[in-house]
């Protein structure tokens, strides 16, 4: 066998190989190797043969499909990330292996292929399979890593016979990071926003009143009443949790009222300099709300002031001085006011501590059409439903009679 260049003048002789057949190798294929350097794009292989004496014979040759040496380096595929593990927080996650970053990139004459085994003879994943592989530890007892190879298709060869470029695509449980775990509800609110406790969550968070996400989630995490709560990462589209079966959420979030409510005893009194009103008379009066018990109220303290047809009642929403008993400071800034046709509703901005007293100032004036000699009564009531958590109701009303002179 002689090898020459083609298209040169003169054509160059490159290599020669002489093979000798014996009686034992007649009619058999012999494997021979010719090592040469290609000095031109096209080469001519010339085969000739001879037999001893005058006997006839014939000889053929066949070139193997991939006769040339593999152009790939025998170095391993090297990932850019330091660990052989690629972690995700949900067991339902998939990974496109073509997005895995390789140090130095893929050689020009090769492509990156992935296998479920470390040997080059193991079956390769198809591009579709490699575009959405599942996590390696779906079954912890049967870990399934992925192995990377460089493959030169034109030469049907791999960079290495056994790959050490092992990638474990792992589901790793993650707890929801929280900014704080103890929340005191500030009056007059009655609920807490649990979502404000989440510290840069990496996925959707669901809240439960137990640490195993059993039963129904919290209906509205932005309005959670006092109680204990637990946060979980949840993948909505696949319906999977970050925590593995048997794992529990930690830590616990405790939501409590700002003032620990007990059983208060709230009662109103009314102070005014005179109960008689001449034509056009205007006077200040104050309502004193006392908590005479040794326990705090909750945030829901409110009382009602009745409207009476012969008089107008006004109020300020800021603290000030009421002209009662030579001048009495009021706490109107600590209360909110609203009204309807029958009552003025006054609601505290905070609960009332044990032994606390608050003063709320009003101004009352006689209407021009009020008949002289008539008497009308004004009621100040702490309703049972608004008594700040108390159950002593026999001192929750004061009735005051005003007379038109």
- The verdict on residue 59 lying in a domain is yes
Same-domain pairing of 342 and 245:
no
Cis peptide before 108 (omega within 30 of 0): no
Same-domain pairing of 335 and 390:
yes
pTM: 0.56
The span from the CA of 217 to the CA of 213, in Å, is 7
CA 230, 235, 239, 240 torsion-angle sign: negative
The residues, ordered by sequence, that sit 6+ positions from 77 with a Cβ below 8 Å of its Cβ are: 102, 112, 148, 149, 150, 159, 163, 165
**168-185, pLDDT tens digit by residue?**
999 999 999 999 999 988
Same-domain pairing of 152 and 217:
no
Note the pLDDT of residue 342: 96
Note the pLDDT of residue 403: 96
Q: Report whether 168 contacts 135 (CB < 8 A).
A: no
Range of the domain at 392: 266-404
Same-domain pairing of 298 and 399:
yes
Q: Per the structure, how many domains does the chain have?
A: 4
- The verdict on residue 69 lying in a domain is no
Same-domain pairing of 186 and 212:
yes
Note the pLDDT of residue 215: 96
- The verdict on residue 291 lying in a domain is yes
Same-domain pairing of 245 and 284:
no
Which helix (DSSP H) or strand (DSSP E) does residue 127 occupy? helix 127-130
| Per-position b or e across 265-285, b if 16+ CB within 10 A of its CB | bbbbebbbeeeebeeeeebbb
Same-domain pairing of 399 and 277:
yes
Note the pLDDT of residue 261: 67
Report how far apart, in Å, the C-alpha atoms of 213 and of each of 206, 286, 312 are.
9, 52, 57
**How many CB atoms lie under 10 A from the CB of residue 111?**
12
* Domain stops at, among 238, 257, 276: 257
CATH number for the domain including 285?
2.60.40.1510
Note the pLDDT of residue 257: 76
- The verdict on residue 58 lying in a domain is yes
Of 373, 189, 394, 405, whose CA–CA distance to 283 is shortest? 405
Residues of the chain with pLDDT under 50: none
The span from the CA of 290 to the CA of 313, in Å, is 22
Same-domain pairing of 250 and 289:
no
* Domain stops at, among 218, 237, 257: 257
- The verdict on residue 356 lying in a domain is yes
Classify residue 231 by burial, with Cβ atoms within 10 Å: 0-12, 13-18, 19+: buried
Note the pLDDT of residue 260: 64
Same-domain pairing of 19 and 57:
yes
Same-domain pairing of 397 and 325:
yes
Of 387, 327, 391, 385, whose CA–CA distance to 359 is shortest? 327
């Amino acid at each position: 066998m002689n090898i020459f260049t083609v298209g040169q003048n003169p054509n160059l002789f490159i290599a020669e190989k002489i093979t000798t057949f014996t009686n034992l190798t007649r009619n058999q294929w012999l494997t021979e190797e010719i090592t040469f350097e290609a000095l031109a794009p096209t080469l001519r292989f010339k085969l000739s043969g001879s037999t001893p004496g005058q006997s006839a014979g014939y000889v053929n040759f066949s070139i193997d499909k991939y006769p040339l040496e593999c152009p790939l380096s025998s170095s391993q595929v090297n990932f850019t990330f330091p660990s052989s593990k690629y972690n995700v927080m949900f067991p339902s996650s998939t990974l496109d292996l073509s997005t895995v970053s390789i140090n130095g990139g893929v050689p020009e004459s090769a492509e990156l292929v992935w296998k479920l085994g470390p040997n080059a003879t193991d079956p390769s994943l198809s591009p579709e399979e490699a575009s959405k592989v599942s996590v390696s530890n779906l079954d912890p007892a049967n870990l399934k890593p992925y192995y990377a190879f460089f493959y030169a298709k034109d030469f049907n060869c791999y960079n290495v016979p056994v790959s050490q470029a092992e990638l474990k695509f792992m589901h790793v449980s993650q707890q929801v990071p929280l900014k704080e775990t103890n929340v005191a509800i500030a009056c007059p609110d009655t609920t807490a926003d649990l979502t404000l406790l989440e510290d840069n969550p990496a996925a959707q968070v669901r809240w439960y009143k137990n640490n195993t996400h059993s039963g129904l989630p919290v209906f509205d995490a932005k309005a959670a009443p006092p109680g204990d709560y637990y946060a979980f990462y949840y993948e909505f589209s696949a319906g999977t949790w970050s925590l593995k079966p048997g794992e529990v959420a930690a830590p616990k979030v405790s939501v409590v009222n700002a003032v620990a409510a007990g059983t208060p005893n709230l009662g109103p009194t009314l102070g005014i300099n005179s109960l008689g009103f001449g034509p056009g008379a205007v006077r200040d009066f104050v309502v004193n709300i006392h908590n005479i018990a040794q326990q705090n109220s909750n945030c829901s303290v409110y009382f009602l002031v009745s409207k009476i047809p012969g008089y107008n009642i006004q109020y300020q929403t800021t603290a000030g001085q009421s002209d009662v008993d030579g001048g009495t400071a009021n706490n109107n800034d600590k209360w909110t006011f609203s009204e309807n046709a029958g009552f003025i509703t006054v609601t505290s901005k905070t609960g009332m501590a044990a032994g606390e007293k608050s003063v709320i100032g009003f101004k009352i004036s006689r209407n021009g059409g009020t008949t002289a000699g008539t008497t009308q009564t004004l009621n100040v009531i702490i309703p049972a439903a608004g008594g700040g958590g108390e159950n002593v109701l026999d001192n929750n009303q004061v009735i005051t009679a005003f007379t038109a002179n």
